[in-house]
Structures are given as C-alpha cells and as structure tokens.
Amino acid sequence: MYRRDNLLFCEGDLDHTLRNHNGQIAAKVDVIPKDQFLAIPEEDLVEHIYSEIYVEPLTLYEDSMEMEQHEVKIDVSGNPLRNPFRDPGPIYVSGIKVVVSIPYSGDPMLWKLRPNQWRSVFPQGIVRQPNHQGLGYLDIIIEQPTDEPTERIKQNLESELEKIRFYLEAQKRQVEQFNAAAPENIRKAIRTRKERLKTHDGIVDLLGIPLKRRSGAPVVSHIPIKRKLVKPLPPPPKCGFKPEPGISDQDYEHILSVIRHVGRTFEATPGTYTVHNEEELRDIISLTLMVIMRDVPLERPSGDVGRRISE
C-alpha cells in the first residue's frame, strides 16, 4: 500500500549532509582546551575526532528477516478495476496484511538521505530506531485483497528489497569515501590550529603582557550524523602544557664542535685517557660541556649526541 510518509531516502541530500559534517571538523578541533590539545599526541587527537564524525553505513540483514500477517479491511476505491464508476468511497474489501521485519545496523538518519545516484521511484518502509545493542528494524508492509494471487506478495516484497539494495549500495560508496578522507582532513585541522597557537604565543612573548582568560568555551552545534561510541581524550596536564625542552641549531652545532675537540684531545694524549672506560670518557665530555656551555642546561650525552661520541 502506497503511503508517502513511509518513503525512504527522499527527505534530504546525502552529499550536502556529508559536506556539512566534514565542515564541523575544525570546530571539533578548536573546542578542545589548549593545554589538553597541545599535550595529546596528534594521532590520539585524530582517533578521538574520527570516532565522533565517523558515519556508519547502513547494513540490512536479509537472512534474519521475519514476518507476520493479519486480516484487514482494504479500501479499494482508488483502484479503477474495482471502482469503475469512481465512487468517492471508501470501498472496503477483505484483505491480508504482511509485515516483514528486517534487522539493520548503521546510522538510522541515513534512511532519510538521498545518495548522488538515485531513481525516480523510492522504496517504502517504516524505520524503527536501534536498540542498546545498535540493532534496528525496517518494516516493509504489503497489503492486498484476499482474492488476489498470493504470489504477488512475494513479487512486491522482492521489488521493494531490490530498490532498497540499490539505494544502500549507492549510499555506501559515498559514506566510505567520506570516512576514508576524514583522518587526513582532521590532521590538517589539527596542524592548522597548532600553527595558529604558535602565532598567538609569539605575540604574547613579543608584548610580554599576559592574556586575559575568557570565561566559557566555544559552542559547537550538534551534527545529525554521529557515532555513539566516542573515544575520550586523556585529561589535560594539571600544571598546564609545557613544551618539550630543546636547543637552537646554533647551540647544537657548537656542542658538537666541543665534543669533537675533546675527542681529538683524547686521541692526541692517549696515555692520559686510555685508563678510562667509555662511561668515564663521556663524563669528561659532559663536564667540559657544562663548563663551556653555561647557558645550555645539559645532562649526560644521550640520543644523537651520544651516538656521535661513540663515532
């Protein structure tokens, strides 16, 4: 039985919705508190935001469908073969109503959205929202007079299923394309904010005036499509974000020149230094660096510097 309020895939445009959804990435990045944002590794941020914007495509489990049937009265006044004189009706006859329930998973909002590839005829069905396990049901309702061949019920069901399969496949291609591109779009938004924060910090350092703290945070509107399970971010550092210590390239090169000079001293006076093992030689180099580089806080050489000493 045709009912316009039961039509699927015709209430909105999927492409437009996904583009709006993608446009919210920057807002989701910017709403994370600064200290928390700077302290969390980039890939953890990507995973968190991706879990928020990921769109789960619809999957219909036809192998688990069930049905029930009922006796009903059907108005046939709109059928010219049964109402040749166009009686305004209603004209009721005995009929049969079959309800086929098919479980599905995925975002239920997708049942309303039209993909880029679509037909002039839309399928019909009643969508039931997912339960706590993430499983919903699509009810396909077929009604016909009792005196019509029962084989038509099967034909009508297969016709509806074929149309639904077409739309689900067209949707899936668009949704998977969106999900595949999302991580890189998130990384771009993260890096853009980091560059912006560097500029802001540079202005503070230049003026030497503390920033006035704002009360409240940016408001982010809700998106109609979202995943239920969102990976939480770790809490921000209690003492605020502190960048990793580092030295300038000029100081780094100067440190290496000192190490090379001390190394040549070891080679020029082997009698003095051969009594020391490698750890003791490194202590000598470290002491020399602490004396010469008073403005550069150093610990015992490690990492690249340590490797260059052994060379």
The pLDDT averaged over each successive group of 10 residues in the chain (311 residues) is 77 95 94 90 93 95 95 92 88 95 96 95 95 93 94 96 97 97 96 86 55 49 45 66 67 79 80 80 80 53 41 42
| 64 DSSP 8-state letter | G
Q: pLDDT at position 290, please? A: 75
Dihedral, CA of residue 50, residue 51, residue 57 and residue 62, to nearest 10: 150
Find all residues with CB under 8 Å of 300, minimum gap 6, and list them: 282, 283, 286
d(CA 9, CA 301): 65
The count of other CB atoms within 10 Å of the CB of residue 305 is 18
Burial 69-105 (b: 16+ CB within 10 A, else e): eeebebbbeeeeeebeeeeeeeeebebbbbebbbbbb
Q: pLDDT at position 153, please? A: 95
Q: pLDDT at position 226, please? A: 44
pTM score of the predicted model: 0.65
Q: pLDDT at position 279, please? A: 84
Q: Where are the domains positioned within the chain?
A: 4-180, 249-310
Q: pLDDT at position 303, please? A: 42
CA R_g for the chain: 34
Write the single-letter amino acid at 164: I
Q: pLDDT at position 214, please? A: 53
d(CA 301, CA 258): 12
Distances, alpha carbon 12 to alpha carbons 8, 115, 116, 178, 254, in Å: 10, 9, 11, 17, 64
